[in-house]
Amino acid sequence: MKFISTRGNAEPVGASQAIMQGLAPDGGLYIPESFPSLAHVNVHEISSYPELAYEVLAPFFNGDPLAPYLAEICVNAFTFPAPMIQLEEGRFVLELFHGPTAAFKDFGARFLAYSMEQLLQLQKRKLTILVATSGDTGGAVAAAFAGRKGIDVKVLFPKNRVSKRQQHQLTCWGGNIEAYEVDGSFDDCQAMVKAAFMDEQISRQWGLSSANSINLGRLLPQMVYYVYGAVRVQAASGKKPHFIIPSGNVGNSCGAYWARTMGAPIESVTLALNANRTIVDYLKSGNYAPRASVETLANAMDVGAPSNMERLFALYGDLATMRLNVSAYSIDDAAIRQSIKETYEQYGYIICPHTATGVRVRKDFVSESPTIVVSTAHPAKFEMVVEPLIGHTLEMPPALEELLKRDTRCTSIGTDYRELFQ
């Protein structure tokens, strides 16, 4: 299996090389030359999530140096559940927040960390990871890479644009994890990471790689829970489910589209956006116009220039095909609050602001059944928003509670990427 750049000006590479480089040399993102079929996967004979992950991912690592280690990586990375909650007939929520940092990004970050650590041991070299975060990615990456041999991590987050608990998760590590508070937006953080990669001297000197959703090693494992969720609901209902996914940088959503392309039983995928309407406006007008991000309650989705749209453009080719496969709706802060409150009152079920965008899109725009809303983060990470709406204090997951007891440290910088390397 080879991977090519979305921009078409880089040599095809294997999975390991794509993972270690992060970004292709021409500035593009790595995508498979072609997608394998899931026909080889007999889900009825699979007994665990790590086993399913191995079966889904194995074709992408065929002939790769990581192939002999893939099963072990899956066992080590996926040590937590992904419960499917049924709110009522035909309406499901897939909870992806039961990992160490209470966010869906634990799936991809842990797979990436174990993969990179194994490759560095084989190659006998060191690496510096740059990661820009709008809230949850940085915490998941920091937790996954903390203490990993041969890997240093620099986490960039936008000043005053993450929740207090999110910031604590970004800055409580020390050791091989350095946190940087950037005086700008997430888009500025993302631009700094890309600029550093394109600086050949710095990239070579520091051995740079990425852990954002631009990295193939983050995105591949995110396909697995869509296969997992779709198969479970189809088995229960006899129908292919419709996924509704809270989306910011579109990496998580891209995992769903890739899984569907491989033949996962997914009827459709709908993106739930906050007030950052770049994709909604593109699908309406046909004009793709990235813009500065807008601050919202669903802060991890505050992305005005989503990187992984480049992968969707490569997958679907033209506007007409895109419109056949991609639908998207924008939800404002008032509707987010209302959805949190209504969901608790109706079902006794508590959701975070990001999940609330998906719940609201399902209520207002998706009449088909069955539907699966992807729940991306534990509501306790956003207690300042959620608790006043439900009228009581949220119980914290034990792993999150333990992290919040740690001391924190970070460095404040501007938007010049060279400040990261002083």
User: Domain locations in the chain?
Assistant: 79-102+219-397
Q: Is the per-residue pLDDT at 60 higher than 80?
A: yes
Say what the pLDDT of residue 124 is: 84
What's the token pair of residue 170?
């970004």
Residue 90 has pLDDT above 90, yes or no: yes
Q: How many contiguous H segments (helices) and E segments (strands) does the chain have?
A: 18, 13
What pLDDT was estimated at residue 139?
86
Quick one: pLDDT at residue 308? 95
Task: Name the amino acid, one letter, at 212.
Answer: N
β-pair type (177-182, 208-210): unpaired
Mean pLDDT of 182-188: 93
Which is it for strands 177-182 and 268-273: parallel, antiparallel or unpaired? unpaired
Q: Whose structure tokens read 């992806």?
A: 96
Three-class secondary structure of residue 110 per DSSP: helix
Backbone angles phi and psi of 87, in degrees to 5: -80, -40
Tokens for 238, please give them. 């006899």
296, 276 contact by CB (below 8 A): yes
> 319 and 286 in contact (C-beta within 8 Å)?
yes
Q: What does the pLDDT look like over 227-254, one tens digit per residue?
A: 999 999 999 999 999 999 999 999 999 9
Is residue 136's pLDDT more than 80? Answer: no
Q: Give the tokens for residue 410.
A: 């970070």
Q: What is the pLDDT of residues 386-412, one digit of tens each?
A: 999 999 999 988 888 888 899 999 999
pTM summary value: 0.91
State the angle between helix axes of 70-77 and 105-123 in degrees (0 to 180), rounded to the nearest 10. Answer: 140
What is the overall mean pLDDT for the chain? 94
49 pLDDT more than 90: yes
Per DSSP (E only), the strands in 191-247 are 208-210, 242-246
What separation in angstroms does the CA of 335 have from each of 162, 304, 308, 320? 20, 20, 26, 30
CATH of domain 79-102+219-397: 3.40.50.1100
Is pLDDT above 80 for 331? yes
Cis peptide upstream of residue 370 (ω within 30 degrees of 0):
yes
Centre a 10 Å sphere on the Cβ of residue 81 and count the other Cβ atoms it contains.
11
